[in-house]
Structure 1
């Protein structure tokens, strides 16, 4: 699991995936969601703009697991 730091209180899923360099566009996020390839806290995520907070864990099937952490 890799920690990805954010400088805000929360971040949207699509922004997080771009921030972590896991996707290049929002369209890519939509395709991954449609295929059921994104899990947030071990549950399939259906919302591109789901709000993530420090401590949340995002799994991208075939690409790894990432934890949202507060960057100080």
Structure 2
């Protein structure tokens, strides 16, 4: 499982996708989420502003998993 380390209380789903290198710019988040299924903690999520906190898990359509980890 890949990890995304954050130094703040939360990170948005759009920011996480950019930080993980899945998208190139924050503006691509809306498009990505409309084209691909993304799960947050096992539930389908399409809001780029969804707040992710440490211990949350993001799963992409291809099965790649990312865990949010606090610093």
TM over 0.5: yes
TM-score with structure 1 setting the length: 0.85
CA RMSD of aligned residues (A): 1.5
Unaligned runs of 5+ in 1: none
Q: Which consecutive segments of 4 or more residues in structure 1 shift more than 3 A?
A: none
TM-score with structure 2 setting the length: 0.86
Unaligned runs of 5+ in 2: none
Distance 1:31 1:62 in 2: 17
Distance 1:60 1:40 in 2: 9
Distance 2:7 2:24 in 1: 20
